[in-house]
Amino acid sequence: MQMTDEQLALIKKEFATLKERSAFYARKFEGIDLSDVQIQADFEKLPFSEKADLREAYPLGIQAVPDEEVVRIHSSSGTTGTPVIIPYTKQDVDDWADMFARCYETAGITAADRIQITPGYGLWTAGIGFQLGAERLGAMAIPMGPGNTEKQLKMMQDLGSTVITATSSYALLLAEEIDKRGLRDSLKLRKGVIGSERWGDKMRARIANELGVEIFDIYGLTEIYGPGIGISCSEHHGMHIWNDYIYAEIVDPETGEVLPDGEVGELVLTTLRKQGAPLIRYRTHDLTRIIPGDCPCGLVHPRIDTLTGRTDDMVKVKGCNMFPAQIEEVIKFVDGTSSEYQVMIEAINGRDVLTVLFETPLEGDEKTRCEEQLAAIFKAKIGCTPEAKGVPMGELPRSEKKTKRIFDSRY
């Protein structure tokens, strides 16, 4: 991706005082004179930042402004070990709101809309980000937070919510509940803004059909503002990234080398304006690619493709490497499967055992044939044969946060 003149200028401006303002970067870039960074190639030689660096800086080592300029903090869900704390200045919060409002606008949402917000509020950036953007846009925010499906559906009907914002798995849960109760005709929903975890076309189609909405994928991560740094447009081919705030690179996850546009690799992000906690070449571990060329929608912001997985999601079983996206493909390819599945990897008597559980409406011989077909296609596309097991619809767990689909109990 070609760095624009404006981006380079913002980076140079940021670098002019970065080491003075931040002990974190003084240490990180020890021995590097940041004023030597004059062109894109210089920038691409700088070391990456990792989530581990941010954990080490816990609680506020990353802060690059005086205390009186910090107006809030957020924290990433620390499922393992120390969480990461990110301080925001007033300007950071403002910039985030502008980006998020731009996301809503890109999805065709206006001040006349009523936005039901189901992601959680609190330390993490989800609910509050959706809220901030809705208020900046001038729409009506309905700050539900997660859970309490009964109340969600009541508010959705009584207030005539036109937009639902959710994780894909919670949107699916709501869609199924609306379908079961035959509520669809009593709803005014027209758009869904869904947090972009990696999810398959089948699940997307179910949510879109059952909720009766046009779906937009929104992208972001707590370390870099939160959700709202990019979103899909009416073309539904990739997500535009707001390149006046963020510089995006795609690198080879093994070598760290910058890859040409169009090639799949790890997304690396640099903040161009962030004050409280600037991040330079931050490894997201999300796998995607830059979509070459202009988008027919007319937006000039570059696009990244739908996420294909996480660099750390790759699992090796019986000598073959597999990514969640490939497993998703197999499920999609087989008739009689639904969007919901789970993969179990266990070591039994020193042997790796791979089981794919999938929801299916089929029973008896039809189910057996479907299982055989899935195993055969899995072998053909990925290279190893799983035990395929169909389970009744609705049996696999849904979650309000991200749905975990691969369970590796070998280590």
One residue of 10, 164, 171, 233 binding Zn ion per CB under 5 A? 233
Number of residues engaging Zn ion in binding (CB under 5 A): 5
For 171, phi then psi, to 5°, come to: -60, -40
CB of residue 410 vs Zn ion: minimum separation in angstroms? Answer: 42
CB of residue 111 vs Zn ion: minimum separation in angstroms? Answer: 22
CB of residue 217 vs Zn ion: minimum separation in angstroms? Answer: 12
CB of residue 236 vs Zn ion: minimum separation in angstroms? Answer: 9
The residue among 70 and 229 lying less far from Zn ion, judged by its C-beta, is: 229
The residue among 6 and 235 lying less far from Zn ion, judged by its C-beta, is: 235
CB of residue 291 vs Zn ion: minimum separation in angstroms? Answer: 10
The residue among 19 and 301 lying less far from Zn ion, judged by its C-beta, is: 301
CB of residue 373 vs Zn ion: minimum separation in angstroms? Answer: 37
The residue among 23 and 299 lying less far from Zn ion, judged by its C-beta, is: 299
The residue among 20 and 235 lying less far from Zn ion, judged by its C-beta, is: 235
Q: 117 - beta bridge partners? A: 143, 165
Burial tier of 306 (Cβ tally within 10 Å: 0-12, 13-18, 19+): buried
Region of 4-12, 17-25, 210-218, 289-297 interacting with Zn ion (CB under 5 A): 289-297
Burial tier of 398 (Cβ tally within 10 Å: 0-12, 13-18, 19+): middle
Q: In whole angstroms, what is the distance from residue 169 CA to residue 204 CA? A: 10
SS3 label, residue 232: strand
**Torsion angle of C-alpha atoms 335, 340, 345, 349, degrees rounded to 10:** -70
Kind and range of the H or E run holding 92: helix 90-106
Residue 103 lies near Zn ion (rule: CB under 5 A)? no
Residue 214 lies near Zn ion (rule: CB under 5 A)? no
Is 276:86 a contact under the CB 8 Å cutoff? Answer: yes
Q: Residue 124 is which amino acid?
A: W
Site string for Zn ion, 291-310 (x = CB under 5 A): ----x-x-x-----------
Residue 235 lies near Zn ion (rule: CB under 5 A)? yes
Q: In whole angstroms, what is the distance from residue 189 CA to residue 397 CA? A: 25
Measured at the CA of 185, the angle between CA 338 and CA 213, to 5 degrees, comes to 55
SS3 label, residue 25: helix
The residue among 299 and 406 lying less far from Zn ion, judged by its C-beta, is: 299
Residue 218 lies near Zn ion (rule: CB under 5 A)? no
CB of residue 110 vs Zn ion: minimum separation in angstroms? Answer: 18
Asked if residue 59 has a cis previous peptide bond (ω within 30° of 0), the answer is yes
Residue 3 lies near Zn ion (rule: CB under 5 A)? no
The residue among 240 and 274 lying less far from Zn ion, judged by its C-beta, is: 240
Dump the DSSP string for 323-340.
-HHHHHHHHHHSTT--S-
Footprint of Zn ion on this chain (CB under 5 A)?
233, 235, 295, 297, 299
